[in-house]
Amino acid sequence: GVDCGGDSRMCCRQEFFVDFKEIGWEDWIIQPAGYHMNYCTGLCPLHMAGIPGLAASFHTAVLNRIKAASAAAAVDSCCVPTQRRPLSLLYYDRDSNIVKTDIPDMIVDSCGCT
């Protein structure tokens, strides 16, 4: 996978960090301090298409929603997550219990063209 940067407009992974303090969630999420909500962006010309690895996930749901919103049906190859890992959270639930949970496929590690 390629990380975005410079002038290239090819498919890459854009890093995006959601700081829980910034959104006022630091009082109920104990760890981590934020969420690396990286996403995939960039062009996928035909010669870059064909990298497999797209499974059902939150990200595909987002992708499908955007696709549905698009007026055109015929599309080129798309820049999508090819490697993901879970987000581990330690937080207070509604009853102030401390809960540890892992949400699968929440962090995009690399991107590629479908």
Partner 1 sequence: AARGEWCPACGMAALAPGTQRDVLLALAKQSILAKLRLPARPSSPQPPARGALLTALRRLRAQRSDTAASPGTLRDGPVPQLRPGMELQEYEILSFAESASSTSRSVCLHFRFSRELSGSTEVLQATLYLFWASPRPRAQPVTIRLLKPDPMGPNMTVASETRLEVQGSGWTTLDVGPAVRSLSGQETPRLTVELDVPEDWESPFPADHTDSHWPFVVAQARARTPHRVRRR
Applying CB under 8 A, the residues found at the interface with partner 1 are 16, 18, 23, 25, 27-28, 31-33, 35-37, 39-46, 58, 62-63, 66-67, 69-70, 72, 74-80, 85-89, 91-94, 96, 101-104, 106
Residue 68 beta carbon to partner 1: minimum distance, rounded to whole angstroms: 9
Alpha-carbon distance 6 to 42, whole Å?
12
Secondary structure, 3-state, 26-80: CCCEEECCEEECCEEECECCHHHCCCCCCCCCHHHHHHHHHHHHCCCCCCCCCEE
Residue 40 beta carbon to partner 1: minimum distance, rounded to whole angstroms: 7
Residue 109 beta carbon to partner 1: minimum distance, rounded to whole angstroms: 9
